[in-house]
Amino acid sequence: MRNILHVDMNSFFASCEQVIRPELKGLPVIVGGDPEKRRGIVLAASYEAKAFGVKTTMPIHEALKLCPEAILLKSTHGLYSDMSEKVMKIFDDYTPLKEQLSIDEAFLDMTGTEHLYGSIIEVAYKIQNEIKNKLDLGCSIGISSNKLLAKMASDYKKPMGITIIYPENVEEMLWPLPVGDLYGIGKKTTVKLKNLGVKTIGDLATYDRDELTRLFGSKYSDMMYQRSNGIDQRPVVSRDYYDAKSVGNELTFSNDINQLEELYKRLLVLSESVGYRLRKKDLKGKTISIKVKYNDFSVITRSTTIDHCTNVTDTIYKNAYQLLTNSWRQKPVRLLGVTVTNFEDVSPQTSLFSLIEEKQDDVKLKKVDQLTDDLRKKFGYNIVKRASTLHGTEHIRKH
């Protein structure tokens, strides 16, 4: 039997803010929106705020009606990803089989580690205590033999809960819960099921399967049947939430730009940043895209796919340059972006065919990239700038 943990950080964004602002501990904290204008939505709420009924995605003005004493905070740039990295490193110390689902949750396959850490319940407490002692953050942990039940168990008791749900516990612990609590059942499906008289997970588990198939299709109905009965054969797959599918940067201009030559300079800044990040991650891509937002808020995207993978700044820029030239509408531009996708790993195991293709990139340009990368690693990214890109400061956003 497998032993799987699902670790879910408690009110992660708000808890991170309370860590760097200890004076806020024990107080109702809401992260999100504009604290001065009191607009926007709730990105996160501390448990003290949740006690008043404040929920994620709720409009700020509604949240403040429920909890007038709440302390509104803007999200702190970089804080949550930094804390997430520290949490994930703790997980990595316990098992190589870690599947990160989001910035604040992961599955851990602990099968066969009993001789190292003790029973599965003992290791759950060890992980929970280590996160609390080292990072001052709380988490809830679900324990089971499959991913579905481990995730359902972590939701069972918050904050700082540890709950066990094995398949033999499903009828007692899962079936009485509202059907909308079942992982994978969305709001629209919940409404449809309730109209059928399916109010609990147990109702769904025992509902006529032929009727489910007729109403929802065979694939979705099979998923609902299996999950409502606690069945899940999916393995824990080692991966990080930040496994890249794309690398891109955007520039939001402080003043709209209506000169193509000025846009080319910004495009070079973006291409250089994207190339640097690709090389840092050992990634190459074939598809280069640009995004242009005009001052009337219309947005266009254009892309091109080249015949070889690259992370060379000059190659990225030349293709982005051509895309911009062909698509510019001669209107003031508010935002410009460059993205590279369609990746190939450039680790030492890269195939011979890929290495042959690689020669299509100019060797001298690759040497320039390597030199500037080495300088940036040693002295900081901004130590090297191209003369043609020197201009005023804008906000650069990575994605």
Q: What is the CATH number of the domain that holds 98?
A: 3.30.70.270
User: Is the overall model pTM greater than 0.75, yes or no?
Assistant: no
Q: Which residues are CB-contacts of 363 (< 8 A; sequence separation ≥ 6)?
A: none
Instruction: Establish if 131 belongs to a structural domain.
Output: yes
Cα–Cα distance for residue pair 376/378, rounded to 1 Å: 5
pLDDT on residue 372: 73
Same-domain pairing of 97 and 51: no
123 to each of 90, 93, 232, how far by Cα in Å?
A: 12, 12, 23
pLDDT reading at 337 higher than 60 = yes
Each residue of 122-138: pLDDT tens digit? 999 999 999 999 999 99
Angle between helices 12-20 and 79-94 (to 10 degrees): 100
List pLDDT tens digits, range 346-360. Answer: 433 333 334 434 444
Query: Is 42 in the same domain as 98?
Result: no
CB of 140 closer than 8 Å to CB of 120: no
Flag whether 235 is in a domain. Answer: no
Neighbour-count burial of 376, counting CB atoms closer than 10 A to its CB (0-12 exposed, 13-18 middle, 19+ buried): middle
Q: With contact defined as beta carbons under 8 Å apart, do 113 and 94 qualify?
A: yes
User: Which of 148, 169, 190 represents a domain boundary (last residue)?
Assistant: 169
**Do 339 and 362 lie in a common domain?**
yes
Residue 344 has pLDDT above 90, yes or no: no
Q: What percent of the chain stands above pLDDT 90?
A: 65
194-208, 331-345, 377-391, range with greatest mean pLDDT: 194-208
Task: Name the residue with higher pLDDT: 95 or 365.
Answer: 95
pLDDT at site 357: 41
Taking the C-alpha atoms of residue 275 and residue 250, their distance in angstroms, rounded to an integer, is 13
**Is the pLDDT assigned to residue 389 strictly greater than 60?**
no
Position 399 scores a pLDDT of 63
| Domain identity same for 321 and 377 | yes
Q: Assess if residue 64 is contained within a domain.
A: yes
205-264: per-residue pLDDT in tens?
A: 999 999 999 999 999 999 999 999 999 999 998 876 656 678 999 988 888 999 999 999
Parallel, antiparallel or unpaired: strands 71-73 and 29-31: parallel
Question: CB within 8 A of 108, min separation 6: which ones?
Answer: 4, 5, 6, 7, 91, 94, 95, 97, 98, 127, 236
What was the pLDDT predicted at 66? 96
* Per-residue pLDDT at 107 exceeds 90: yes
pLDDT (0 to 100) of residue 131:
98
Per-chain mean pLDDT for the chain: 87
Helices marked H in 102-208: 114-117, 120-135, 147-154, 187-195, 201-205
Question: From the CB of residue 364, how many other CB atoms can be counted at a distance below 10 Å?
Answer: 9
Lookup result for tokens 């990239």: 369
Last residue of a domain, one of 144, 169, 194: 169
Whether residue 241 is contained in a domain is answered as no
Token pair in block for residue 184: 């994978």
Q: Residue 92: inside a domain, yes or no? A: yes
| 186-210: average pLDDT | 94
Report the pLDDT value the prediction gives residue 152, as an integer from 0 to 100: 96
Same domain, 130 and 252: no
Q: Same structural domain for residues 20 and 128?
A: no
- Catalytic annotation, residues: 105
Token pair 């609990």: residue = 200
Q: Mark whether 93 and 151 lie in a shared domain.
A: yes
- Report pLDDT for 244: 62
> Is residue 216 located within the same domain as residue 118?
no
Q: Does residue 329 share a domain with residue 214?
A: no
- Cα gap 185→177, rounded to integer Å: 13
pLDDT value at residue 90: 96
385: pLDDT strictly greater than 70: no
Tell me the C-alpha distance between 210 and 207, whole Å: 9
34's enclosing H/E stretch is none
The CATH number of the domain holding residue 69 is 3.40.1170.60
More confident site: 278 or 141 = 141
Inside any domain, residue 185:
yes
Residue 54 near residue 42, CB atoms below 8 Å: yes
Residue 154 · residue 6 · CB < 8 Å:
yes
Please report whether residue 242 resides in a domain: no
Is the Cβ–Cβ distance between 244 and 399 less than 8 Å?
Answer: no
Chain centroid offset of residue 54 CA: 23
* Strand segments (E) across 244-392: 247-257, 283-294, 299-310, 333-345
Q: What is the mean pLDDT of residues 44-54?
A: 95
**Is residue 75 very low, low, confident or very high in pLDDT (cuts 50, 70, 90)?**
confident
- What is the pLDDT, as a whole number, of residue 277? 87
| CATH number of the domain where residue 303 is located | 3.30.1490.100
Give the total number of structural domains in the chain: 4
Mean pLDDT confidence for 163-180: 96
Does 279 reside within a domain? yes
Query: What does DSSP say about strands 105-109 and 4-9: parallel, antiparallel, or unpaired?
Result: antiparallel
**Is the peptide bond prior to 332 cis by the omega test (within 30 degrees of 0)?**
no
332: enclosing H helix or E strand: none
Query: Which pLDDT tens digit goes with each residue over 14-36?
Result: 999 999 999 999 999 999 877 67
Q: Is the pLDDT of residue 292 over 90?
A: yes
User: Same domain, yes or no, for 279 and 297?
Assistant: yes
Regarding whether 339 and 252 lie in a shared domain, the answer is: yes
The residue range of the domain holding 293 is: 247-398
* Tokens 């396959």, located at residue: 109
**pLDDT of 192 over the 50 cut:** yes
End of a domain among 24, 44, 73? Answer: 73
241: Cβ contacts below 8 Å, ≥ 6 apart: 84, 100, 101, 102, 103
Q: Which of 278-282, 288-292, 321-325, 374-378 has the lowest mean pLDDT?
A: 374-378
Residues 303 and 342 in one domain: yes
| Predicted local confidence at residue 392, as pLDDT | 45
pLDDT of residue 144: 98
